[in-house]
Structure 1
Amino acid sequence: MIPVRGFAGRCVAVLGLARSGLAAARALSAGGAEVVCWDDGASARAAAEAEGVGLRDLGRPGALDGVAALIVSPGIPHLYPAPHPVVAAALAAGVPLDNDVGLFFSSLGDPQWAAMDSPPRVVAITGSNGKSTTTALVHHILTTAGRPTQMGGNIGRGVLDLDPPGEGAVIVLELSSYQLELARALTPDVAVFTNLSPDHLDRHGGMGGYFAAKRRLFAEGGPDRAVIGVDQPEGRFLAGQLAEAAEDMRVIRVSSGQRLEGAGWSVFARKGFLAEWRKGRQVAACDLRALAGLPGAHNHQNACAAWAVARALGVAPRDIADALAGFAGLAHRGQTIAEKRGVRFVDDSKATNADSAWHALGAFARIRWIAGGRAKAGGIAALAPQFGHVVKAYLIGESADAFAAQLGETPHALCGTMAAAVARAAAEAEPGDVVLLAPAAASFDQYPDFEARGRDFAACVAALAD
């Protein structure tokens, strides 16, 4: 646990008692604060009370009197589409807002770090797609290279639940737009922007607000090194804002698909080969084509970003390449879970929108595609250019009929359930085919979350005869 500083003897309120809220309450208490908490859900309140957390209905008149700050959990809106009533009351009363990420950055430093030869460092990774894989990959590379490291934030442990880092340690954080937009302190040593695609637009008031939330990671404190995906206008804009000149080595540009050979520092992948360039010449390279844990161009971008972070932290190219070869992939994100009779089964349950599914479909040549669930705006119409990779689609969930109408001439079957889809796809697959779960839809019609959907896929595959 990282105790929160600056609130000893003062009352701090915590709104939302899921993982990050409970960790914030514990860390505030450890730092000497008087903590009062609330959650709109009765079960969450009961679980917190069982841990000894003090409860106060923060929606009652006068409940925020004497409160020094309100710590808001990431899922609770504070501006768009409308602020939570407790947040609105805090804003009206002039009570400062923060979240666990802001508390983490304001509390992490230790005076003893000045005496260390290699003080701890923080890597923070954000973006629309690929941030979880990039975070896990950086953590894997550092661990394999023998560097003490912890992973947390939007993946793994809550930021305040991490252990205080020691000499030479690196904390690797995945941070969502929800976590970034409210944090009062953001001071990573290395910050990463993977890419941007439409998501959570109601929460951020549109694409401009969404990008602004991501951009805060680079604007609030100013990282020592910025790793920026430049395959989209927003990334190019951000890199241009951060760099003082074309040769500014504090900005590392990364790409999947285009050569980046300018005067600065870049890492890019083309046709399955990664190249690192500095000052107009290539300094390192790596063959990504055989890496089963990182299939497709989108994962090659993740590999480029992770490579750039590791190089910024002083890891040698050969050590990074060895670590990449041993990366098994992140659960439910393009992870190969089995191969039976020459057919590969890949779980990309995290592909909950068309943009994510686009990358999954582009990673393989002959696909038996399991898709469907609770459709998002536009369905799968935008994926039509990728349908040439699909031998046949097997549709599940409440969007099955709508997706069938959008598939056009692409062969498909209405299967309804995961078990039926897996059984039929496996029965019809030929050696060399990939049975790919990339739903292009939310899971909530049949599952509580995408993880549960992915686990069901894996269980159905395991039940098949070898």
Structure 2
Amino acid sequence: MIPVQGVENQKIAVLGLGRSGRATAAALAAGGAQVIAWDDGVDTRAAAEAEGLTIVDLTRDANWHGVTALITSPGIPHLYPRPHPVIAKACALGVPVDNDIGLFFRSYATPDWEGFDCAPKVIAVTGSNGKSTTTALIHHILQECGRPTQMGGNIGTGVLSLEPAIDGEVVVLELSSYQTDLARALTPDVAVFTNLSPDHLDRHGGLGGYFAAKRRLFAEGGPDRAVIGVDEPEGLYLAGQMQMGPADDRVIRVSAGQKLDGPGWSVFARKGFLSEYRKGRQAASIDLREVTGLPGAHNHQNACAAYAACRAVGLAPRQIEAAFHTFSGLPHRSQTVAEIGGVRYVNDSKATNVDAAAKALQAFERIRWIAGGMGKDGGISLLAPHLDRVSKAYLIGHSARDFALELGATPHEVVGTMEEAVARASAEAQPGDTVLLAPAAASFDQYSNFEKRGEHFAALVEALKGG
């Protein structure tokens, strides 16, 4: 645990008592704060109270006397589409609102660091797609190269549940827009922006607000090095804002499909090869085509971003290349779960929007595509350029019939359930085909989250081996 600094003898309220909320309450208490807490869920409140937390109804004005800060969990809206009533009350009373990310950044460094030979560093990764894989890949590379490292944030361990820093350690954090939007302190040593595509627009009041939440990691954080994907206009704009001039190598530009020119520092992938350029000259090249844990152009972008971040903390190209080959990928993200009779089964349940599904479709040929669920605004019409790779689509869930109307001449079948989709796809697949779960939709119509959906797919595929 990382005790929160600067809160001794203060009365601090915590809103939301899920994993991060309970960890936040414990870290505040360890820092000497008097913690009161609230959650909208009756059962959640009861469970937290049984663990020793002081539950106070923060919807009542009388309970705010002496409160100096409100710490909220990331899933609770603070502005759009409308503020949670407790957050609105805090704002009306002039009580500062923060989250666990802000507390982490103001508490991670301690006086113990003065005795370290090498100061610990924080690499923070944000973006729309690929940030989990990029975060895990950076963490894996650091481990393989013998660097002390921890991983947390939106993946793995909550930030305040991480262990205090040790000499030379690198903490790698995945940060969502929900986390960067509100944090009052953001001070990473290396900040990574993977890409931007429309997502969570209701929470941020539109695409501009969504990008602004991501941008805070750079504008507020002032990282020593910024690794920025420039394949979208927003990334290109952000890179330009961060650079003092064309040769400013504090910004490392990243691309997954174009050669990047200029005198600065860039890392890009083309035709399966990663290239690093500095001061107009090539510094390294890596063949990504045989890196089985990173299939497809979207994973090549993740590889470029992770490579750049690791170079920014001093790792050598050959070290990074060797670590690429031992990376097995993340569950539910272009994860090969089996190969049966020459048919590859890939779980990309995390592809919950059209952009992520497009990248999954581009990674394979001869696809038996399992798609559907709780569709998002705009449908799947933007996937039309990639449907020539689809031998047949098997549509499940709430939006199955809506998706069917948009598939045109692409062979498809509304099957309804994952069981039927896997059964039909496996029965019809030929050697060389890929059965790909890339839903282009949320899971909430049939599953509690995308992980459960992916686990169900993997279990059904595993059962095929016994057949």
TM-score norm. by structure 1 comes to: 0.99
Displacement after TM superposition at 1:261 (Å): 2.8
Question: Which runs of 5 or more residues in structure 1 are unaligned?
Answer: none
2:442 aligns with: 442
1:425 aligns with: 425
1:377 aligns with: 377
1:331 aligns with: 331
SS at match of 1:464: helix
Report if aligned partners of 1:122, 1:189 keep a CA contact under 8 Å in 2.
yes
1:33-432 matched pairs, under 5 angstroms: 33-432=33-432
Distance 1:149 1:447 in 2: 33
Q: 2:376 is matched by which residue type in structure 1? A: K
SS at match of 1:301: helix
Q: 1:307 is matched by which residue type in structure 2? A: Y
* Residue range with higher mean Cα deviation, 408-417 or 155-164: 408-417
SS at match of 2:282: strand
Report if aligned partners of 1:191, 1:217 keep a CA contact under 8 Å in 2.
yes
Displacement after TM superposition at 1:443 (Å): 0.5
Q: 1:303 is matched by which residue type in structure 2? A: A
Q: 2:287 is matched by which residue type in structure 1? A: D
Distance 2:139 2:465 in 1: 36
Distance 1:143 1:331 in 2: 19
Report if aligned partners of 1:292, 1:336 keep a CA contact under 8 Å in 2.
no
Paired residues, what number? 466
Report if aligned partners of 1:346, 1:436 keep a CA contact under 8 Å in 2.
yes
Q: 1:374 is matched by which residue type in structure 2? A: M
Displacement after TM superposition at 1:262 (Å): 1.3
Distance 2:46 2:339 in 1: 44
1:23-38 matched pairs, under 5 angstroms: 23-38=23-38
Distance 2:92 2:402 in 1: 45
Displacement after TM superposition at 1:64 (Å): 1.3
Displacement after TM superposition at 1:315 (Å): 0.9
Distance 2:347 2:236 in 1: 31
Q: 1:376 is matched by which residue type in structure 2? A: K
SS at match of 1:318: helix
Distance 2:51 2:228 in 1: 41
Displacement after TM superposition at 1:114 (Å): 2.4
Displacement after TM superposition at 1:360 (Å): 0.4
Displacement after TM superposition at 1:43 (Å): 1.8
Displacement after TM superposition at 1:221 (Å): 2.8
Distance 2:382 2:255 in 1: 23
Q: 2:413 is matched by which residue type in structure 1? A: A
Q: 2:187 is matched by which residue type in structure 1? A: T
Displacement after TM superposition at 1:247 (Å): 0.6
Q: Once the two structures are superposed, what CA deviation does each residue of 1:422-444 show, in whole Å capped at 9, x if it has no partner?
A: 11101111111100000011101
Distance 1:9 1:112 in 2: 23
Q: 1:228 is matched by which residue type in structure 2? A: I
- Alignment RMSD (CA, Å): 0.8
Give the ranges of 4+ consecutive aligned residues of structure 1 lying more than 3 Å apart after TM superposition. Answer: none
Q: 1:105 is matched by which residue type in structure 2? A: F
SS at match of 1:13: strand
Distance 2:279 2:104 in 1: 36
Q: 2:95 is matched by which residue type in structure 1? A: V
Displacement after TM superposition at 1:316 (Å): 1.2
- 2:3 is equivalent to residue 3 of structure 1: yes
Distance 2:350 2:146 in 1: 30
Q: Once the two structures are superposed, what CA deviation does each residue of 1:324-346 show, in whole Å capped at 9, x if it has no partner?
A: 11111111011101000110000
1:457 aligns with: 457
Report if aligned partners of 1:373, 1:398 keep a CA contact under 8 Å in 2.
yes
Distance 1:356 1:370 in 2: 14
Distance 2:120 2:112 in 1: 11
Report if aligned partners of 1:348, 1:436 keep a CA contact under 8 Å in 2.
yes
Report if aligned partners of 1:263, 1:278 keep a CA contact under 8 Å in 2.
yes
Q: Once the two structures are superposed, what CA deviation does each residue of 1:168-197 show, in whole Å capped at 9, x if it has no partner?
A: 101000000100111000000000000111
Displacement after TM superposition at 1:63 (Å): 1.5
Q: 1:246 is matched by which residue type in structure 2? A: P
Q: Once the two structures are superposed, what CA deviation does each residue of 1:71-127 show, in whole Å capped at 9, x if it has no partner?
A: 011011111111111111110100011100000001111122123221110000000
SS at match of 1:463: helix
Q: 2:155 is matched by which residue type in structure 1? A: I
Distance 1:399 1:219 in 2: 39
Q: Once the two structures are superposed, what CA deviation does each residue of 1:241-292 show, in whole Å capped at 9, x if it has no partner?
A: 0111111111000000000131010000000000001000001110001112
Displacement after TM superposition at 1:355 (Å): 0.9
Identity of aligned residues (%): 69
